A and B are shown apart, each in its own frame.
Chain A
Amino acid sequence: MSAVLDDHGHDHGHDDHHHGYSGIMRWITTTNHKDIGTLYLWFSFTMFMVGGVMALVIRAELFTPGLQIVNPDFFNQMTTMHGLIMVFGAIMPAFVGFANWLIPMQIGAPDMAFARMNNWSFWLLPFAGALLIISFFMPGGAPGVGWTMYAPLTVQMGIGMDFTIFAIHILGMSSIMGSINIVTTVLNMRAPGMTLMKMPLFCWTWLITAYLLIASMPVLAGAVTMTLTDRHFGTSFFNAAGGGDPVLYQHIFWFFGHPEVYIIILPAFGVISQIIPAFSRKPLFGYASMVYATASIAILSFIVWAHHMYTVGMPVTGQLFFMYATTLIAVPTAAKMFNWLATMWRGSLTFETPMLFALGFLFLFAIGGFSGLVLALAAVDIQLQDTYYVVAHFHYVMVAGALFTAFAGIYFWLPKWTGRMYNETLGKVHFWLSMIFFNMIFFVQHFLGLAGMPRRIPDYPLQFETWNKISSIGAFGFGLSQLLFLYIVVKAITSGEKAADKQWEGADSLEWTHLPSPAPYHSFETPPVVK
Chain B
Amino acid sequence: MSQHPTAQGTPAYFIPQPMPWPIMGSVGLFCMALGAIFVFNGMGGGWVSLALGVMIILYMLYRWFGDVIRESETNMYSKKVDMSFRWGMSWFIFSEVMFFAGFFGALFWTRVVSVPDLGSLLHNEILWPGFAAHWPSAGPGFAEKFTPMAAWGLPALNTLLLLSSGVTITIAHWALKENKRGLLNLFMFFTVALGATFLVCQAIEYGHGYSELNLKLSTGVYGSTFYMLTGFHGFHVTLGAIMLTVILARCLAGHFKPDHHFAFEAVAWYWHFVDVVWLGLFIFVYWL
Contacts and interface: CB of A to CB of B under 8 A. Distances in A.
Contacts of B74: 8, 11
Contacts of A126: 26
A241 B139 CA distance: 5
Question: Interface residues of B toward A: which range?
Answer: 35 or more
Contact of A180 (B91, B105, B109): B91
A251 B76 CA distance: 46
Contact of A243 (B23, B40, B138): B138
Contact of B91 (A11, A214, A237): A214
A417 B66 CA distance: 35
A87 to B, nearest CB: 19
Contacts of B34: 131
B114 A5 contact: no
B84 A176 contact: no
Nearest to B94: A214
B29 A127 contact: yes
Given A113-B88, A114-B88, A217 B16 contact: no
Interface string A211-226: 0001111110111011
B111 to A, nearest CB: 9
B277 interface: no
Contacts of A127: 26-27, 29-30
Interface stretch (A18-26, A392-400, A427-435): A18-26
Contacts of B114: 240, 243-245, 247-248
A368 B118 CA distance: 39
A145 to B, nearest CB: 16
Given A5-B16, A26-B18, A221-B99, A131 B106 contact: no
A217 B95 contact: yes
A113 B225 CA distance: 38
B interface SS class: helix
B157 to A, nearest CB: 27
B179 interface: no
Contacts of B103: 222, 226
Contact of A229 (B23, B91, B216, B217): B217
Contacts of B41: 159, 162
B13 A242 contact: no
Contacts of A242: 138-139, 141-142, 218, 220-221, 224
Interface in B1-39: 1-4, 11, 13, 15-23, 25-27, 29-30, 33-34, 36-37
Given A2-B17, A245-B114, A522-B15, A188 B99 contact: no
Contacts of A239: 139, 141, 221
Interface stretch (A48-56, A163-171, A376-384, A460-468): A163-171
7 contacts: A179-B91, A219-B99, A235-B221, A236-B138, A243-B139, A244-B220, A252-B106
Closest 8 pairs between A and B when the two form their complex, measured CB to CB: A241-B141, A222-B102, A243-B139, A234-B218, A1-B1, A120-B22, A245-B114, A235-B224
